Amino acid sequence: MAHLVLASSSPRRRELLQQLGLEFLIYSPEIDESAFENETAADYVQRLACEKASVVQQKFPNAIIVAADTSLSVDGEILGKPESKDHAFQMWAKISGRKHDVFSGVCVRTSAQISSIVVRTQVEFQVLSLKDMEDYWATGEPEGKAGAYAIQGLASRYIPRIEGSYTNVVGLPLHETVELFKAIKLLN
């Protein structure tokens, strides 16, 4: 069987993929993650996941590649990772007291096949006070996270409900990833 390569340096994706009991290598490709003008969040994450898989496939031509990308969308705007404290606060102001969508694109690729999917989960945030934002930023957890929060961490206290896949919000929708693996006969 061909070896599996996770095209991501995300510790959360690594942990989620380990839950499936699979052995894999990690190789994080360098790609331009800029969104195209008028690109939807769903199209954006699918494109990035497939680009990552393509780059890694060139490095490991005989491997099975799994790549993913996760972003938030509110009012049609893509919210990626915060560039600064101010940027995180701007994002939180947009999602405070309302629902937003989290999209993950997943691409599984071999030299002969490419399969991809986009998974959407709706997340509801409580109203965040300035103190909530200051306290959460001070933990360091929001840095490097799409939407400037980690549902599996301290941010869970601000999230009364979600509709859809929890692992999608963490960064790799496991059920759907397993289905892609089954399609290429990696799993039964």
Number of structural domains found in the chain: 1
Annotate the chain with three-state secondary structure.
Answer: CCCEEECCCCHHHHHHHHCCCCCCEECCCCCCCCCCCCCCHHHHHHHHHHHHHHHHHHHCCCCEEEEEEEEEEECCEEECCCCCHHHHHHHHHHHCCCEEEEEEEEEEECCCCEEEEEEEEEEECCCCCHHHHHHHHHCCCCCCCHHHCCCCCHHHHHCCEEECCHHHHHCCCHHHHHHHHHHCCCCC
pLDDT for the residue numbered 34:
93
- Residues recognised as catalytic: 69
pLDDT for the residue numbered 187:
76
Domain assignment of residue 38, yes or no? yes
- Which residues constitute the domain of residue 92? 4-183
pLDDT for the residue numbered 184:
87
Domain assignment of residue 188, yes or no? no
CATH code for the domain in which residue 19 is found: 3.90.950.10
pLDDT for the residue numbered 132:
97
pLDDT for the residue numbered 2:
63
pLDDT for the residue numbered 186:
79
Domain assignment of residue 166, yes or no? yes
pLDDT for the residue numbered 16:
96
Q: pLDDT tens for the chain, 188 residues: list them.
A: 469 999 999 999 999 999 999 999 999 999 999 999 999 999 999 999 999 999 999 999 999 999 999 999 999 999 989 999 999 999 999 999 999 999 999 999 999 999 999 999 999 999 999 999 999 999 999 999 989 999 999 999 999 999 999 999 999 999 999 999 998 887 77
Domain assignment of residue 176, yes or no? yes
Domain assignment of residue 31, yes or no? yes
Domain assignment of residue 92, yes or no? yes
Domain assignment of residue 162, yes or no? yes
Domain assignment of residue 83, yes or no? yes
